[in-house]
């Protein structure tokens, strides 16, 4: 097998470490994958180069998971087989975000039929959830209740979602695709530098729960770089799922342990909640941008709707002429973001419970009305922007990985625990870290969540509702044929990160490596701040400030995993903002 590794450095992102030196080695069903050698960091590369392959490609946030996916492709599996294998592997090797105790979304492109499917396996609120469950008797939000308690946990959807995808669109058995994840959990792997840093940062978060400490701590402190992370209980849970299917999680021994965890600590999830969980296949939200077709997740994701909404606004401007990092391009993007996020606060929620005006929000006529509010020379204060009126244009009618195979099948998956390690709670005896997705509801209208996002009635807490998400797994097609697969983690910044990746490729002729490394910006209406990464020139920032933008230079945002489909194969790149990420192909 040949190894394909991309190296790169941009002057604008010179401080981002690039992870190099991993050989691509086979993963067999009988033998656990080899452990990762010591990671070396090198800032000396001055060529931005995507990874190239001809037969298939996997781009994920952890090298071991990418290896697992490529091995499945080599063994004859399709993109869905590989994607499901990667999903289960990330639950082991990226424990702060990869999961079977959370939920997410998967976009699937079936090459044979040309069908595009938006698979919704987002967490659901328990049946006993109530609108005001996170408020005290005076109507104030109780700090931490929707984040760090058993009340923060939504009914997980990942096991159901991955199993559904495999049975409907894959070619291999659950046991076959899960075996590498089981081996990784059973035998363990060395903690990377970045995981060690996350564990140290989350010490208090994890340290209050004995079942969590038993996995992630050693001698009373978090595991350190190079120490082995072995997850015996998680291996047992994965083995049960591989043998019995999703029923093991939703009705069997795992379900019993999750319910026991809830009962012991005042959580709401009961056996009926788990048994009643359902995966939903939805129609992707679709738009067009400069001759390309963009397909992304519909509600309860807000991502696809607002990516297309912002593209509809921005298409009228010659962004290529203005330049990728110019003040004018950034100003226009920021103003389009501001308008879209104002609408997000009002209209987006679970479409099974509230009317979401998707057609109106993605209408070009509505974009024309919004664009009239943009002053190309001056920022409009967010206080002067209210949610728009998309209804006249309506009729009645957060880790990410990407996979592409030689037959043209595509998978883009974003799934999450919400914050790092979710609630921080491991269900005793399962090894499964549980989410804190309930915070993605509007726990009180007008009160921001952990990502500063404001919501209202459309995203209020309710039984069996799915909380609004920003996760945006996305395909771009050209002349109806696959062109780009992308997505990112990053909370509220997922949408704008994904948008800029696509604009960088289409408008600014960047390859996927350049598109990933370019500095990013983000505006979400409230708070009224234009967040920018380091790397923009002082002159550019001064012009933006003169236009009235309130600049805040903050740490890196987003970690894209992108694959571009070329006539001669695949070009891919893992965002170096996460040094553990890796794109591999064969």
The residues assigned a catalytic role are 398
Distance CA 161, CA 249 (A): 12
Distance CA 145, CA 162 (A): 29
State the SS3 of 32-81: CCCCCCCCEECCCCCCCCCEEECCEEEEECCHHHHHHHHHHHHCCCCHHH
Tell me which H or E stretch contains 108. strand 103-109
Tell me if residue 381 falls in helix, strand or coil: coil
Task: Give phi and psi for 533, each to the nearest 5.
Answer: -80, 160
Is the bond into 349 cis (omega within 30 degrees of 0)? no
Residue 580 CB neighbours (<10 A): 21
Count of all residues that appear for the chain in the document: 586
Distance CA 547, CA 526 (A): 18
Distance CA 256, CA 261 (A): 9
What residue spans of 170-245 are helical by DSSP H?
174-187, 193-201, 203-207, 210-216, 232-244
Tell me which H or E stretch contains 432. strand 432-433
Closest to 537 (Cα-Cα) out of 550, 527, 523, 551: 551
Are the CB atoms for 7 and 49 separated by under 8 Å? Answer: yes
Are the CB atoms for 132 and 162 separated by under 8 Å? Answer: no
């Amino acid at each position: 097998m040949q190894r394909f590794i991309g190296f790169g450095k941009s002057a604008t992102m010179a401080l981002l470490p690039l992870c190099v030196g991993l050989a691509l080695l086979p993963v067999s069903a009988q033998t656990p994958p080899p452990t990762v050698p010591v990671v070396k960091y090198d800032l000396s590369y001055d060529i931005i180069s995507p990874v190239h392959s001809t037969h298939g490609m996997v781009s994920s946030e952890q090298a071991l998971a990418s290896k697992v996916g490529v091995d499945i492709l080599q063994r004859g599996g399709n993109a869905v087989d590989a994607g499901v294998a990667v999903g289960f592997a990330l639950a082991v090797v990226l424990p702060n975000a990869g999961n079977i105790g959370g939920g997410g979304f998967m976009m699937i492109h079936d090459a044979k039929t040309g069908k595009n499917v938006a698979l919704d396996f987002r967490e659901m609120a328990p049946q006993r959830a109530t609108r005001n469950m996170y408020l005290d008797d005076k109507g104030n939000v109780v700090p931490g209740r929707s984040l760090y308690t058993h009340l923060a946990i939504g009914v997980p959807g990942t096991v159901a979602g991955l199993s559904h995808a495999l049975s409907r669109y894959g070619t291999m058995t659950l046991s076959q695709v899960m075996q590498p994840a089981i081996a990784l959990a059973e035998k363990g792997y060395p903690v990377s530098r970045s995981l060690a840093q996350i564990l140290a940062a989350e010490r208090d978060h994890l340290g209050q729960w004995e079942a969590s400490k038993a996995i992630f701590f050693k001698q009373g402190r978090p595991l350190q770089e190079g120490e082995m992370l072995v997850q015996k209980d998680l291996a047992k849970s994965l083995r049960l799922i591989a043998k019995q299917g999703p029923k093991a999680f939703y009705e069997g021994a795992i379900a019993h342990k999750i319910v026991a965890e809830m009962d012991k600590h005042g959580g709401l999830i009961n056996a009926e909640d788990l048994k009643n969980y359902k995966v939903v296949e939805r129609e992707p939200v679709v738009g067009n941008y400069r001759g390309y077709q963009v397909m992304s997740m519909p509600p309860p994701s807000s991502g696809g709707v607002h990516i297309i909404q912002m593209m509809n606004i921005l298409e009228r401007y010659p962004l290529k002429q203005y330049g990728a990092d110019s003040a004018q391009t950034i100003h226009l993007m920021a103003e389009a973001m501001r308008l879209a996020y104002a609408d997000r606060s009002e209209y987006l929620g679970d479409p099974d419970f509230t009317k979401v005006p998707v057609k109106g929000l993605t209408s070009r006529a509505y974009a024309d009305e919004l664009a009239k509010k943009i002053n190309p020379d001056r920022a409009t204060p967010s206080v002067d922007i209210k949610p728009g009126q998309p209804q006249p244009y309506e009729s009645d009618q957060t880790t990410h990985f990407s996979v592409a195979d030689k037959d043209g099948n595509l998978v883009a998956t974003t799934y999450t625990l919400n914050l790092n390690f979710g609630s921080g709670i491991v269900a005793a005896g399962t090894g499964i870290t549980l989410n804190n997705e309930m915070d993605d509801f509007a726990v009180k209208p007008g009160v921001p969540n952990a990502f500063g996002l404001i919501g209202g009635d459309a995203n209020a807490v309710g039984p069996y509702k799915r909380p609004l998400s920003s996760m945006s797994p996305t395909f771009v097609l050209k002349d109806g044929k696959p062109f780009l697969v992308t997505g990112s983690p990053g909370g509220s910044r997922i949408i704008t990160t994904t948008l800029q990746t696509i604009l960088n490729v289409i408008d600014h002729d960047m390859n996927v490596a350049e598109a990933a490394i370019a500095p990013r910006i983000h505006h979400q209406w409230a708070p009224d701040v234009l967040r920018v990464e380091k790397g923009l020139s002082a002159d550019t920032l001064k012009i933006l400030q003169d236009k009235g933008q309130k600049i805040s230079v903050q740490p890196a945002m987003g970690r894209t995993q992108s694959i571009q489909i070329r006539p001669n194969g695949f070009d891919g790149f893992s965002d170096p903002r996460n040094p553990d990420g890796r794109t591999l192909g064969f």
